[in-house]
Structure 1
């Protein structure tokens, strides 16, 4: 009976571990055994893509951002960087990590330059809504005319998951980074509201809320309202896997 009980427990544990998904929003709580308190790192995973943004807690000063495609299989975790402000020379490279689950938290570790890096991430939310996804901008409307574009090395991406969003404008070939911003959001009943918690171009924008209209038409996100500068905008966002083709 003890052996059977152990086997059942092991199967349950394996099932739970196997069912773990990275999708959603995460916050870095510990790095190399130290609690992270003076900085805020938020990481969003969705549709095989990730992005993170970091700021100083005391003054909301932007620190850095990074992201790109990821692969997670049986404890093996790979990140390929499309953009990385802290070290642009890493753009295009794939880094391998070990990923473990401890009490529902994600533990990422690797040996880098002879030193062990260990990060503990706590899930903030895995909630989904109408706009949950990884998107790339493919169109704009001015007046009655809609102009379309096919994203290449230079593109603007917006990832939404777990009630968090982050947009990034970058060029993966030249490694040029144009800007990023992110925070919390709600999307319900055609109303999309962003609450900015970090912004690379202007720290003073942190705390602002922007109210837009949205509609999903043929799988694309139609986004309209006023920009942070008060200018009218109408944008069309396509699922990244469809809109961006290498």
Structure 2
């Protein structure tokens, strides 16, 4: 009876702590892998969607990423997996676990890994989840259906960003990249911290013009390969 009472008290304490805080924003952790390398992990939570990514803390070499929808009920966090570069068979499954969320730390119950808050969704103007919905080709905007299984999502906190290309139907992961960003005076600047397709791009900075028009994000400049781009991103609603 005493053991049950203590367990119930800890669960209630964790639930109260979670309800008084918010998961929204970016979180990170640095740990030591079995081979002795430092591994950085970054998680971004926006309204309804989240990602978690692991990469070499020194070189930025990509290791793995996963993410999808999330829902918090009390201290129970449920994630519906939309992509997983390491274990694609998990796509479509739901995972539920208890968490302890404090002001600046986040951890799963029975897990020693502690995530530290990076930001709470500020100060960036573009925080949230976005799906690419249009591109400029030959001077004309070509619209893209955001409901199809093949998706390119970009998710941003107040200071961190990540894009992911994947297919929820085939469970295929196509690529990802991310890092830090700023969005001031109509300029959106990405500082690449990891890039699954080309590690040599780590450390590069890319500058774009941006504007919000009718709720959509218009994004223009040059890609990581130096090609001119004009993209339209639409907010993704859970």
**2:207 is equivalent to residue 207 of structure 1:** no
> Whole-Å Cα distance in 1 between the matches of residues 192 and 118 of structure 2?
17
Matches within 5 A, 1:32-181: 38-102=38-102, 104-109=104-109, 117-126=111-120, 127-151=122-146, 152-181=148-177
Shift of 1:144: 2.6
The structure-2 alpha-carbon separation of the partners of 1:107 and 1:16, relative to structure 1 and needing over 3 Å to count, comes to closer
Equivalent residue of 1:212, what SS? strand
CA deviation vs aligned residue, 1:38-57 (integer Å, no higher than 9, x gap): 10101111011001221112
Q: Where do 5+ consecutive residues of structure 2 fail to align?
A: 1-13
How many residue pairs get aligned? The number is 221
The structure-2 alpha-carbon separation of the partners of 1:30 and 1:73, relative to structure 1 and needing over 3 Å to count, comes to farther
CA deviation vs aligned residue, 1:138-163 (integer Å, no higher than 9, x gap): 00012431100112110100001130
> Whole-Å Cα distance in 1 between the matches of residues 103 and 226 of structure 2?
45
Q: Where do 5+ consecutive residues of structure 1 fail to align?
A: 1-12, 110-115
TM-score of the two chains, using structure 2 as the length reference: 0.86
CA contact (8 A) 2:18 2:100 kept: no
TM-score of the two chains, using structure 1 as the length reference: 0.84
> Whole-Å Cα distance in 2 between the matches of residues 106 and 181 of structure 1?
24
Shift of 1:101: 2.6
> Whole-Å Cα distance in 2 between the matches of residues 38 and 130 of structure 1?
31
Equivalent residue of 1:180, what SS? strand
CA deviation vs aligned residue, 1:177-235 (integer Å, no higher than 9, x gap): 11000000000111000000000001111000000000000000000001111111000
The structure-2 alpha-carbon separation of the partners of 1:37 and 1:106, relative to structure 1 and needing over 3 Å to count, comes to farther
> Whole-Å Cα distance in 1 between the matches of residues 18 and 98 of structure 2?
14
Shift of 1:58: 3.6
Aligned to 2:237, which of 222, 238, 241? 241
